[in-house]
Amino acid sequence: MEFIWKIGGEAGMGIMASGLTMCKAFTRGGLSAVGYPEYPSLVRGGENTFQIRVGEDVHAPLKKNHLVVCLNRPTVDFHREQVYENGAIIYDSSATKIEPGEFGADKALLDVPLLRLATDNGGDVIMRNTVALGASIAFMGYDISLLEQVLAETFARKGQQVVDQNVKIARAGHDYMLHNYKAQMESFKFKIRKKSDSRKMVISGNEAIALGAAAGGLKLFSAYPMTPSSSIMHYIAQKELDFDIIMKQTEDEIAAVQYAIGANFAGVRAATATSGGGFSLMAESLGLSALSETPVTIFLAQRPGPSTCLPTWTEQADLKFALNASQGEFLRIVLAPGDMHECFHYAARALNLADKYQLPVILLSDKYLSETFFSCAKFDMGVKIERGKMITKDMKPLPLNARYKRYLITKDGISPRPIPGVIGGEHVSGSYEHFENGYSAETFSVRAAMVDKRMRKINSILKEDFEMPKLYGAEDAELTLICWGSHKGIALEAAKILNSEGMKVNVLHFVFLFPLDAKNLKKLFRKLNRTVMVENNRTSQLAGVLKEYAGFRPDFKLLKYDGRQFFPEEIASEVKKLKEKNWKGKKEIHVIDNLPYDYLQAGKVER
């Protein structure tokens, strides 16, 4: 049982709100759902879409759809080739013209007077989408009461009158479909039914990261808005009092990261979030964190670059930037969660690791993972908070003019860290290379000793906290798809397709990207048969990192970098082509979407 529904229109038509409402309605029926939005960088105009894939156990969007709601002409043009055979299209001929056969003779064209039904029932033009939700629910055979529940909860704060109006308008669309398209509904073979009364959360990657940070003891979040990281800031701002967190919107990204570093220096658990352009501005301060051994956690949501590039699209191209940002050589930890539970867990863990090892921790997501909504079970909020060697209690007072050895050279490279105000812990800390007491040093032996001290932390990280990539599927698979971060669910769905067609495929997924345990990774790679590296970038960045640190080269590289993430069908298709050629195809394959025309130009409003 699986169904894919999609709604499209220009910005301002309520596409995102409609999609999220529908996503919640599906999960109320005990179903698994993925809500995938696409939109250009426009306030008005352009083409906005929201696809929901719903079923027993789904992990990623697909390219085609069973039922598409077209609120404008560009949605028609984009989706002519993206509707399954015997699928259906809902539209309003008073606003959107569709010629007979435009989608092919096998598709059902359902002309529903969305605008008239909205206005006749007390609504306005924006409520066409609510009519469309009711009509869609009817046509796919789903329970309208579940949509009504979500509408009631969504509009409860606006009063019962508003709730009743929205329910009435949704019902108008539902009833119109029942009365006017009964034959088409009976012949429509794609149906979705309520599975159970069990409820799941519907949450985006950014919301899961924000919740994980809160559970991990975050007390100050400083940030400057930058798509696609901004909704972390928005969510924490909404929950500021609930979480007992101070959310500070700063004047720019430089201030944002320095607020976070300063708060951590004072003993307050703090973090920031940004995308590639903002992270560029944070790079110098990253070095300050490293040299002063002051923890900082940065949630880096990737988008295509360089420069402004494509603000609302996705890519995995900042891995090497995260590994090498700021001048000089210093240790940092880089993580990349792949699903909602990992977003939650590793956001909290990033804060622990930053404190424990007194260094920068970067958690990588991307637009796809950050803004896509997934259904999932509730998180385990019992997060253990670890502050490492942080000293909060007064010690023996220091002799006159003495300074605490804040940077004491230790076996594990980690020095006890008293927070300001602790008696006996007075010390100097800054951006200059230093002696153990923090005073500036230009002694060559001291410089070398301090570099070695900071680098020695890697031994403890690899021994105590490094996590090997996780293998999903049979160990003796003929092919392994290797991926990292956001492409976990996509690769798992691709493997499902390939396994259903007779191949034996597993998935190796990396979350812990740096530092790497080369010795154990080499042992793991030797056990794999044929390998395909799947990356959402042009230069296969993780493959390069694995070659540098573990001497590993995948048999094939499957790359995509046009602003969209991979779809499972794309991966499966390319793998099948390789097998048909007896694995003698190109070693590096580039996948590009061929859409009819530009999302930005579609329905664009003159400014």
pLDDT digits (tens, 9 = 90+) for 459-480: 999 999 999 999 999 999 999 9
pLDDT at residue 598, as a whole number: 75
Q: Which amino acid is at 407?
A: Y
Residue 607 confidence (pLDDT) above 50: no
**DSSP sequence for 224-269:** ---TTTHHHHHHHHHTHHHHT-EEEE-SSHHHHHHHHHHHHHTT--
Mean pLDDT, residues 315-344:
98
Q: Are 125 and 116 in contact (CB under 8 A)?
A: no
Q: Which DSSP helix (H) or strand (E) runs through 119?
A: helix 114-120
Mean pLDDT, residues 54-72:
97
**DSSP sequence for 333-345:** EEE---SHHHHHH
Mean pLDDT, residues 558-571:
98
pLDDT at residue 585, as a whole number: 85
Q: Which amino acid is at 126?
A: I
7-18: per-residue pLDDT in tens?
999 988 999 999
How far apart CA 545 and CA 557 sit, in angstroms, is: 14
**Closest to 285 in 3D by CA, of 307, 270, 303, 268:** 270
pLDDT at residue 602, as a whole number: 67
How far apart CA 547 and CA 542 sit, in angstroms, is: 8
513-526: per-residue pLDDT in tens?
999 999 999 999 99
Percent of residues, the chain, with pLDDT higher than 70: 98
Residue 599 confidence (pLDDT) above 90: no
Mean pLDDT, residues 132-155:
97
Q: Are 106 and 97 in contact (CB under 8 A)?
A: no
pLDDT at residue 189, as a whole number: 94
176-209: per-residue pLDDT in tens?
999 999 999 999 999 999 999 998 999 999 999 9
pLDDT at residue 218, as a whole number: 98
How far apart CA 342 and CA 337 sit, in angstroms, is: 5
Give me the numbers of helices (H) and strands (E) for the chain, helices first please.
Answer: 21, 23
Cα angle 254, 259, 262; round to 5: 120
Q: Which domains does the chain have, with CATH numbers?
A: 2-199 (3.40.920.10), 203-376 (3.40.50.970), 470-591 (3.40.50.920)
Q: Which amino acid is at 423?
A: I
Residue 165 confidence (pLDDT) above 80: yes
How far apart CA 24 and CA 14 sit, in angstroms, is: 16
Torsion sign (Cα): 142, 144, 148, 149: negative
pLDDT at residue 595, as a whole number: 77
Write the CB contacts of 455 (distance below 8 Å, at least 6 apart in sequence).
329, 330, 331, 413
pLDDT at residue 604, as a whole number: 53
Cβ neighbours, 10 Å, residue 156: 11
Mean pLDDT, residues 319-329:
98
Cβ neighbours, 10 Å, residue 428: 15
pLDDT at residue 603, as a whole number: 55
Report if pTM > 0.95: yes
Pairing of strands 270-274, 220-223: parallel
Residue 600 confidence (pLDDT) above 70: no
Kindly list the distances between the CA atom of residue 200 and the CA atoms of 51, 185, 231, in Å, as whole numbers in the listed order: 19, 29, 21
Residue 568 confidence (pLDDT) above 80: yes
205-259: per-residue pLDDT in tens?
999 999 999 999 999 999 999 999 999 999 999 999 999 999 999 999 999 999 9
pLDDT at residue 605, as a whole number: 46
Provide the mean pLDDT of the chain: 96
pLDDT at residue 606, as a whole number: 42
